[in-house]
Amino acid sequence: MSRDVEDLNRRLLRARDAMDRAYAEPLDVRAVAAVAYISEAHFIRSFRAAFGETPHRYLQRRRVERSMFLLRETDRSVTDICFDVGFMSLGTFSRTFREIIGETPSSYRDGHEPMVAPNCVQMWAMRPRVAAGAATAADNAVQSSSFGEAGSAAAP
Amino acid sequence: MLTRLNVASIYVLDKDEALDFYVNKLGLEKGSDFKQGDYRWLTVRVPGNPDVEINLEQPGPPLHDEATAEQIRELISKGALSGLVFHTDDARALYETLQERGVTDFTQEPIDHFYGTDMGLRDPFGNAIRILERKNAAAATA
């Protein structure tokens, strides 16, 4: 029994790692679920049970973290950064960013200097936290079988 | 006054499988391996660097009751427990070597940063391993 749990966790972790690696690409949930060798519905359910949020939300927070990095460290335009980190539309990017960070990408950039910390530390430590209530509400608002930008458009 | 870090422990799901990965895939060497009753003290270390040993620890008796061990095993497999950071003199060459040895679980291929080139992988159980080739290593160690 316990071996099964470990084996499933390990495969879910491999799928999560795949999102961390390929966040800039247009990922779809079926492809990520395939990394874990399970069906889409089972993947979404068990990912949430293991990591406390849907795969869609995890990917959004990874993309927002990477956009924060680029806003701090580079002079690229907000629009370029939006596409750099895998969002398909500026509107979705700005809305998601504001929902998670509480300010716009431009004002975040104005308030933050480049950071002297190894990249892996930034990827671990700077991924935005989301208040538990807010995350749940957002997850519920999103039709979780949807993974790409269409899903996040369901948010107000 | 403390003088040195000597042993750091990481949790693995299986000591034999861990030994195979850390020695035959990652390229560490075996340090200690002896049994005291049921307990196996097993360490690995960077070749040529005998002062720091990594203790490969398996959850379970006599260290943990079965329920505790099960919780730890679940956390290991979620990638929520241990991690290691190594230095290398050539990250890209090592990346190739690891691939040749059959390592597939990379979390990040080598990327250049202002501080050097780093890469990431996981051991077979889910523990994170980071490897860094530092820029200006001579200056950095001074």
Contact B100, A32 (CB under 8 A): no
- Which of A120-134, A138-152, B66-80, B91-105 is least confident? A138-152
Q: Which one is predicted more confidently, A122 or A44?
A: A44
Q: Is the pLDDT of residue A146 over 60?
A: no
What pLDDT score was predicted for residue A134? 54
**Nearest neighbour of A21 by CB, restricted to B74, B107, B118:** B107
> Is A9–B77 a contact, with Cβ atoms under 8 angstroms apart?
yes
What residues does B120 pair with on adjacent strands? B108, B130
Instruction: Report the predicted TM-score, pTM, of the whole model to 2 decimal places.
Output: 0.85
* Cα–Cα nearest to A43, from A10, A15, A7, A3: A15
Percentage of chain A exceeding pLDDT 90: 66
CB-closest option in A5, A10, A21 to B126: A10
Q: Which of residues 119-138 of B touch A (CB under 8 A)?
A: 120, 122, 125-126, 130, 132
The percentage of chain B sitting over the pLDDT mark of 90, rounded to a whole number, equals 87
Map residue B57 onto helix, strand or coil.
strand
Q: What angle do CA B43, B48, B51 make, to 5 degrees?
A: 55
Domains of chain B: 7-141 (3.10.180.10)
pLDDT of residue A131: 52
Structure confidence by residue, pLDDT tens digits, A13-62? 999 999 999 999 988 899 999 999 999 999 999 999 999 999 999 999 99
Name the pLDDT band for A129 (thresholds 50, 70, 90).
Answer: confident
Query: Does the pLDDT value for residue A145 go beyond 60?
Result: no
Ordered by where they begin, the domains of chain A are 2-130 (1.10.10.60)
Tell me the pLDDT band of B137, cut-offs 50, 70 and 90.
low
**Is residue A152 pLDDT above 50, yes or no?**
no
Better-predicted residue by pLDDT, B50 or A125: B50
Asked whether the predicted pLDDT for residue A78 surpasses 90, the reply is yes
Specify the long-range contacts of residues A110-119, CB closer than 8 Å, at least 24 apart. Answer: A112/A68, A112/A71, A112/A72, A113/A72, A114/A72, A114/A73, A115/A72, A115/A73, A118/B113, A118/B115, A118/B118, A118/B132, A119/B111, A119/B113, A119/B118
Judge contact between B133 and B87, C-beta under 8 A. yes
Contact A9 B125 (CB under 8 A): no
Q: Which of A3, A10, A47, A69 to mutate to test the interface with B (most CBs of B within 10 A)?
A: A10
Residue B114 CB-density burial (10 A; 0-12 exposed, 13-18 middle, 19+ buried): exposed
pLDDT value for B62: 84
* Contact yes or no for B132/B116 (Cβ under 8 A): yes
Give the pLDDT of residue A122. Answer: 82
Q: Is the pLDDT of residue A140 over 90?
A: no
User: How many Å apart are CA B133 and CA B110, to the nearest integer?
Assistant: 9
Q: What is the mean pLDDT of residues B62-91?
A: 94
The 10s digit of each residue's pLDDT in B13-53 is: 999 999 999 999 999 999 999 999 889 999 999 999 999 99
* CB-nearest partner of B105 from A6, A14, A51: A14
Q: How much of chain B, in percent, has pLDDT values that exceed 70?
A: 96
Query: What is the model's pLDDT at position B138?
Result: 54
B74/A119 touch (CB, cutoff 8 Å), yes or no: no
Are B108 and A51 inside 8 Å of each other by CB? Answer: no
d(CA A39, CA A8) in angstroms, rounded, equals: 12
User: Taking CB atoms and an 8 Å cutoff, what residues of chain B touch A118?
Assistant: 113, 115, 118, 132
- Closest partner residue to A6 (CB to CB) among B13, B118, B122 is B13
Tokens of A84: 């750099």
